Amino acid sequence: MTPLISVKGLKTYFRTDEGLVKACDNISFDVNPGEILGVVGESGSGKTVASMSILRLIAEPPGYFDGGEIIFEGKNLLKLSMKEMREIRGNKISMIFQDPMTALNPFLKIETQLTEVLVQHKSMSLDKARAKCIEMLKKVGVSLPERRLDMYPHQLSGGLRQRMMIAMALLCRPSLLIADEPTTALDVTIQAQILELIKSINQEFNTSVILISHDLGVVAGMTNRLVVMYAGKIVESGLTEDIFNKPSHPYTKALLNSIPRIDKEQKQLDPIPGLPPSLSSIPTGCPFHPRCAYAVEKCKTTYPETAFITSDHISKCWEVSRL
Amino acid sequence: MTSQSTSKPIVEGTSLWLDAWKRLKKNRAAYLSGIVFVFLTCLCFIGPFVMKAMGFAYDAQDIAYGAHSPTLNHWFGTDFYGRDIFTRVLVGARVSLKIGLIAAIVSAIVGTIFGSIAGYAGGKIDNLMMRFVDILYALPYMFLVIIFVTITENKGETVLFIALGLVGWLTTARIVRGQVLSLKEREFVQAAHSIGVPAYLIIFRHLIPNTLGPIIVYFTLTIPTMILQEAFLSFLGLGIQPPKPSLGTLINDGANHMIVFWWELVFPSLFMAVMLFSLNFLGDGLRDALDPQMKKES
C-alpha cells in the first residue's frame, strides 16, 4: 500500500538563545490511507513540532528545516511555496488543536469562522457555505446547528467548541486530519465522546488521522499503529498491538509500567526516574540512557542502530535482546 | 399567544459588544457623558442652521449693537462686532469637533494598519517600520507645523488635518503593534493559519477586531487631545482664520477682551470644558467596559 503521507528524515531545528534546539531529529514515519497513527511521548518530546512541520506552521525563523522530506500526493511539502501550502492547509490536511477554548477567535461568530474555510478553498457563496456547515455540524453531533452558528465561542461549552473545531477541520473533506492532543483540555466524559467522534469520522470519511497524545490509554483503543517519541527522536514504532504486547524499548516499557492497570494487582506504580532532557542539551549517545535501567557503556557514546523486532516493528535500542 | 412565548429562543446571542454596552450603561458617569456629548454634537451640527434661520448667522455683524452682555436674544452675549456668541460657539465647536474627529479617525486608521502590519510581519520589517515611527516621534511637531504653514502659505482646516494627523497615528501604531505581537502567538491565529487563511485576512479579520478595544479607547481619548491641539494652534494664529470661528480662536479673542467683555471668554471656555470632560469620561468608561478583565465585576 502506498502511504498517504510519508515523512522521511525530518529535521526541524530551532535557533534559540540557549543554542540549537533539535525538536525533531531525523524523524521518519508513514501514514497509510484510512488508518489512525498514534504519536506518544512526554511533554517536550517533539510531537507537536512534528505535526506542525507537516502543515509548515513552524515559525521560520527561529525554526528551520535542516533536512528531510514530507511526501504528500507526490509533492514534497517542505519545498512548496507558501501559496501552494495554503491550498493544502484546511483543504487536504487539517488540524485540530489542543485547547478549543483558545483556538476559536473570540470576536467572530462561529459562522464566520466555519464558512471561512469553504470560501477560501472552494470559493463557495456564503449561503451555500452556511448550508454545508449546518450539515457538517449535524454530522459531528452538534444540536441546534442553525442557532449555534450565530453564537460566539464564549457561549459554547468546551466539548461543543471542540466539535466546532472538528467540523471546521472536516468541512473540505481532507484526506489527513492531525489531532494534536484533542482531548487534553476536556473532562473525561467529553473526552470519550470526542474520541468516539474522531474514530467514526475516520471510518465514515476514510480520513487518515494522526492522533497526538501523551495518554497511552487514549492511544491504545484508538490507533492502528504507534510512534513513540523521546527527546525529538522516534524510539519505537510499530503496530499498536505489538507495542503494547511486547514493548521493545526501555522507554516504552517504562511508560507502560508507570500507568495503573486494571487487570493486575499493583501496590505501587513505577515512575520513570529523572526528568526528560532539555532539547537544547540532549545527552550523547542514546538520549534515554541517564534514565534507563538497561543502559550499558555503549549507550553513553553511540546512538543505537535500528533493531527490527518484526518487519514493521522497530526499536532504537542496543539492548533489545535483554528486554 | 402562549405558543409564541414558548417558541422564543432560550439563549439570546450576546456578543462581546453587547456585553460591553451593558457594562457601559452601568457606569453612570460614562453613560451621562455619552448623552451629553451626543447632545452637544447634535447641537453643534443643527444649532447653527436654526440660528441662521432666526437671523443670527455666525458672521452677521451689527457694529452699532456692539459687544453686549448676555440677554434673552443673545444667550451668550455678543462680541465687539455685534456677532452672536452662542452661534459662534456652536460653529466653532463644530469646526473643532470636525477637526478632532477626522484627525482622530485618520490617525486611528493609519495607525492600526501600520501597527498591525509591523507587528504581524515582525523581524526586520517590524524594526524598520517602528524606527520610522520613532524618528517621527522625535521631531518637534510644532516646529514642523510652523514650517509647513509658512511654506504652503495656506492656513485652515487642511493644514490642521495634516499637522495633527502627522503625529496622531504614531501612538496608535505602537499600541496596535504591541497588541498584534502578543495576539499573533495565540492559538486561534494558528488555527486560522492551519485552515489556509491568507495573511491579509488574518490581519484584517482575525487580528484587528481583537485590538479594537484598545483602539476605541485610545480613539475617544484622542479626540479631546486633537481638539485641544487645534485650539492651541488656532490660538497661536496658525489654524482656523477669522471670520470663521473655532473654539481656539474664540477663546483667543475672549482672552484679549476678558477684562471688559468677560462673556467672550467664559462661554467658549465653558463649552469646550464640558465637551472635553464628557469625552474623557466616555473614554474612561469605554476602557472599563471593553476590558475583559473587568467582566467579573458586573
Question: How far does B125 lie from chain A, in Å, by closest CA?
Answer: 13
Q: Give the closest of A86, A102, A152 to B196, CB-based.
A: A86
ipTM score for this prediction? 0.77
More confident residue, B155 or B34: B34
Report the phi/psi class of residue A194: left, alpha or beta, with left for phi > 0 and alpha for psi in -120 to 50: alpha
Beta bridge partners of A31: A5
Residue B78, pLDDT > 60, answer yes
* Geometric angle at alpha carbon B96, from B90 and B102, rounded to 5°: 130
Residue recorded with cell 466539535: A163
Is A155 close to B195, i.e. CB distance below 8 A? no
A294 C-beta neighbours (distance < 10 Å), count: 17
Cross-chain residue pair B196–A112, CB shorter than 8 Å? no
Q: Ranked by mean pLDDT, which of A263-277, B41-55, B192-206 comes out on top?
A: B192-206
Which residue stretches of chain A have pLDDT < 50? none
For residue B174, pLDDT over 70 is answered with: yes
* Alpha-carbon dihedral A101, A106, A108, A111, rounded to 10 degrees: 20
Task: Scan for cell 504519536, then name that residue.
Answer: A39
Cell numbers standing for residue B165: 494627523
Asked if residue B9 has pLDDT above 70, the reply is no
Mean pLDDT, all residues of chain B: 78
pLDDT at position B130: 92
Contact A57 B193 (CB under 8 A): yes
CA B86, CA A26: separation in Å to the nearest integer? Answer: 80
- Residue A24 CA to residue A46 CA, distance in Å, equals 6
Q: Taking the CB of residue B190, how many other CB atoms lie within 10 A of it?
A: 18
**β-strands A313-316, A233-239: how paired?**
antiparallel
- Look up cell 534515554; give the residue: A288
Residues B179, B74: Cα–Cα separation, whole Å: 50
Please indicate whether residue B240 or residue A246 has the higher confidence score (pLDDT): A246
Instruction: Give the global pTM.
Output: 0.75
Contacts of B183 in chain A (CB under 8 A): none
* Distance to chain A for B7, nearest Cα, Å: 13
- CB contacts < 8 Å between A and B, how many? 86
Write down the pLDDT at residue B201: 87
Confidence of residue B4 (pLDDT cuts 50, 70, 90): very low
Residue B296: predicted pLDDT: 43
Residue B298's pLDDT band (cuts 50, 70, 90): very low
Length of chain B: 298
- Distance of alpha carbon B202 from alpha carbon B120, whole angstroms: 9
Query: Which structural domains are found in chain B, ordered by start?
Result: 17-53+87-297 (1.10.3720.10)
Please say if the pLDDT value at position B7 is more than 70.
no
**Percentage above 90 pLDDT, chain B:** 8
Of A55, A121, A150, the CB nearest to B194: A55
CA–CA–CA angle B11, B12, B15 (5° rounding)? 125
Split at pLDDT 50, 70, 90, the class of B131 is very high
- Closest to A50 (Cα-Cα) out of A26, A71, A20: A26
Summarised one tens digit per residue, pLDDT across range A265-285 is 777 777 887 788 887 778 888
Q: Is B191 in contact with A150 (Cβ distance < 8 A)?
A: no
Count of H-run helices and E-run strands, chain B: 12, 0
Q: CA of B145, closest CA in chain A: separation in Å?
A: 40
A277, HSE (Cβ side, Cα atoms, 13 Å)? 21
- Nearest-CA distance B204 → chain A (Å): 12
Supply the pLDDT for residue B154.
62
Chosen from A48, A77, A105, A160 to mutate, greatest number of chain B CBs within 10 A: A105
Confidence at B60, pLDDT banded by 50, 70, 90: low
A152–B13: do the CB atoms touch at under 8 Å? yes
Confidence of residue B177 (pLDDT cuts 50, 70, 90): very high
Is B294's pLDDT higher than 60? no
Give the model's pLDDT for residue A309.
Answer: 83
pLDDT digits (tens, 9 = 90+) for B210-232: 888 788 888 888 888 888 888 78
